[in-house]
Each structure stands twice: as structure tokens, then as C-alpha cells.
Structure 1
Amino acid sequence: MSNTVIHAHGLIKAFGPTRALAGIDLDIAVGESVAIMGASGSGKTTLLHVLAGITRPDAGQVVYTPPSGGPVDVSALGESARSRLRRESFGFVFQQGLLMPELTAVENVALAAMITGVSRAEATRRAAGWLAALGLQGMEDRRIGELSGGQAQRVAIARSQVTGAGVVFADEPTGALDSVTSSEVMDALLWSTTGQGRTLVVVTHDPQVASRCSRVIAVRDGRVQNSAVAA
């Protein structure tokens, strides 16, 4: 696949006697939105963590091909190199957001850019732009506890995008939200990723969320059972 952004081959990962990944092959294309589904303990979150370089596989390979430059063997990188890759090339949205409650919305977003070396002024400008684009203009100075669950997740989405990340990994990003807010957050997530030509990989248990993605991958017992274009 010539436009592959992430190529995974033969992924194996065990935690003690439990084999979370049992030989997974997967290609993800530039601009694609992929939903990973499966029962609890199926290996779906472990798969996302291995693809994103959070966890190293015991065997197999993950190759990331950036928009410019040559392919990067993520699975062969050391911890510091994988940490730098995650900061500079990948974005993350988690179920609880993992935002810093003592910071304001704009500070939470700007911090992600500042960690990569962007000046405070420029990082704040970019952060305010993303918050406005995601419907949070006027809420920049609110702390996370002063926002609704859906608003907080939009802050997390802005944070995932402020560095210009080509791939965003989302782990149950709507898991704590009601159905209406879940739909609104998915609107924001898809607009900010695939709507901008970027790639989205999302772990979800919600069929409605999965149906919004261009492809659904079913994982069972650490293996890909099925990969199909979403209905």
C-alpha cells in the first residue's frame, strides 16, 4: 500500500502468561479513520499502545512513514526516541482526557506545543486557534473543572492537534459521555483529523462511534478477526 502511514507485521505481546497480541498484521493508510473493536481483554488497547510506540512488542514490527522523510521502525526505537516520536508526530485522546486540572484550557493545549520547542507566545496562539475551531472560543481561560465532559474532550482533541500530528490515537474518547455529546465529540475528532487529511486510530466499544470511521477492525484473543469498511 503506497500511502501506508503505519505498517504492522507479526505483532506479539504478552503480559506474564497472558498473550495480549498473538501475531497481528495491519496496514493503516494516510487519511484513514480506523476503529478497533473487541471485548474486554481482546487486546485492542494493547494494539493501540504498540502502534503508537507507548509499548514495545515482544516480537514483530511497527513502521511509521511520516509525510516527509523515510520510514521509522518504531518497534526498534529506545524509550527516549519513542517518547520524542510520540511528542512530535502523534496525538493522543483518552477517555478521561488526562488534562491538567490546575491549568486553563488554553494552557493545557499550548503545553503540548511548548514541549516540542515552540515558544510560549506561538504555542498560545496555536492553542487559541484550535480551541476556537472546535467551538470553545471564549472558554480559553477556564480550568478543566469548569468545563462539561464534552468541552473537556474537545480541549483534549485540540491538544492532540496543536503540534500538527499526522496520526491521532484515541482510546475510548467517548466512553464517559452520553450519546448526544459522544456524537458531537466524534464530529470534532473526525473534522480535526481525517477532515484535515490526517489519520485517526480509535479504540471503542460503541458501534455508533465505530460506524463513523472508514474501517472497523475486530480483535479477538489478540488476533484480527475481521477488517471491513464501516457500513
Structure 2
Amino acid sequence: MNAPVIEAHALQKTFGVTRALAGVDLAIHRGESVAIMGASGSGKTTLLHVLAGIITPDSGSVTFRPSEGAAIDVAALGESARSRLRRERFGFVFQQGLLIPELTAVENVALASMINGVSRKDAIPHAAAWLAALGLAGMEDRRIGELSGGQAQRTAIARAQATGAELVFADEPTGALDSQTSSEVMDALLWSTTGQGRSLVVVTHDAEVAARCTRTIAVRDGRIIAAAVNA
């Protein structure tokens, strides 16, 4: 198997007296999807945040290997460099989408590219193409409050892909959705990531969501206690 797109080694993270990560090793390969499961407080979201460079570990390393260029020691980067890495190389989908309600769907998606220096003239049609690919053609000019929960999440998925992110992190992306909409959102998320040769890391409480990923990692008390390849 090729080198991991992102690899963590001996991650430790403590918040006060709580040990959120207690020596985690994990490798994510290009083109695979990995679900991280565990009870509340198990450390699964902290693990995602450390992998994504949102927070830094107390010790240990996180190495990101882009398709082009040298490997990046994520944990060693300063705050501004980590922010740039997240903006340019990673995509994010959260439970509530975190979309800007004052903007239209296409403007929300285009904003990701515009922040990276792409002109509005170029970003808007690119964003519209991603919305269309995810089944939202004709909804480009709707504001977020005019979309259903599933449509809003697909808009968030389009935003995560608009910059060409090689690695997408999703934190409970279906947590607020009914089972049918959840399945549709996972269809969109998998198609737009692993379906395009990209990688996906999903934190979820939903066993059905996890089962659709390549692998499932179980976390408890800041440690990986089980790992399984899904059929």
C-alpha cells in the first residue's frame, strides 16, 4: 500500500486533568474513508481536531503527505501556517454545516475558493458545478434557511471540495438528519471524496454511517481500542 496521506504517531493531549489522547497511532491512506467511533468524551473529536491541525498535541507527530510537494509536519506548524494548511489542503463538514446564512448556496461554496485568492468570476461557476454534481442544480441562489437539512449538508460538502481538498474531515455530518437523508448525505460525501481518489475521516455515533467507510476505528479513554476493515 502507498504511503499514508496523513499519519499520526504517539499523540498525547490533555485538557486540565482529562487525558483526551493517550498515545494514538493512526494512518489514513489516499482514497480510503475511516470512521472514528466512541462514546462522548472518548477522545474521537480531539483526534480529528489534532489530525486536521485545529489544535496541536502536547506530544507526538502528525505528518501530512500531499500529492505534490514535501511532507508536512502538521503538529510543528505555527497557528498561521496551520490555518493556511486547513484552508488550502483540507476540507471540513460539521454537524450543523456552519454555513453563512446571509449568503446563497453558491456564494457559500465559492467563498472557500475566494479566500484562497480565486476571483469571484471564476469561483462562482466552479461552485455551481459542484452544487450541480451533488444534486443541487437550480438551488444556487437559495439562502441556507431556504434549504432542507440534507440540502444544506450537501452544500457544505460542495464547499469542502471547492478548493480541491485531498483530505476531508467530517464531524457527525449526519447527526442532525433522519435515516433517509443521512444515507443521501453519505452518498454525496463518499462520492465527492473517495469516489474522486481523495480521503475522508468521519467522526460518528452512527454504526450505519461507519459501516459505509473503508475502516472503523473505535476510541475509548483517548486510545484506539479496536480497528476493523469493513466488508
- Tell me whether the two structures share a fold, i.e. TM-score over 0.5: yes
Is 1:131 paired with 2:128? Answer: no
Task: Output the CA distance in 2 between the equivalents of 1:125 and 1:67.
Answer: 25
Among all aligned residue pairs of Structure 1 and Structure 2, give the percentage whose two residues are the same amino acid. 77
Q: Tell me the equivalent position of 1:162.
A: 162
Q: Tell me the equivalent position of 1:116.
A: 116
Aligned-pair Cα RMSD in Å: 0.6
Structure 1 position 71, deviation (Å): 0.5
Is 1:181 paired with 2:194? Answer: no
Q: Tell me the equivalent position of 1:34.
A: 34
Q: Tell me the equivalent position of 1:150.
A: 150
After superposing on structure 2, the runs of 4+ consecutive aligned residues of structure 1 that deviate more than 3 Å are none
Task: Output the CA distance in 1 between the equivalents of 2:37 and 2:89.
Answer: 24
Structure 1 position 2, deviation (Å): 3.2
Is 1:207 paired with 2:210? Answer: no
Task: Output the CA distance in 2 between the equivalents of 1:23 and 1:119.
Answer: 43
Q: Match for 2:72: what amino acid?
A: V
Structure 1 position 65, deviation (Å): 0.2
Give the count of matched residue pairs: 231
Q: Tell me the equivalent position of 2:192.
A: 192
Aligned pairs for 1:45-84 within 5 A? 45-84=45-84
Q: Match for 1:94: what amino acid?
A: F
Q: Tell me the equivalent position of 2:12.
A: 12
SS at match of 2:60: strand
Task: Output the CA distance in 2 between the equivalents of 1:151 and 1:180.
Answer: 13
Q: Structure 1: where are the runs of 5+ without partners?
A: none
Name the TM-score, length of structure 1 as normaliser. Answer: 0.99
Q: Deviations over 1:45-102 (max 9, x none)?
A: 0000000000000000000000001100000000000000000000000000000000
Name the TM-score, length of structure 2 as normaliser. Answer: 0.99
Q: Tell me the equivalent position of 2:96.
A: 96
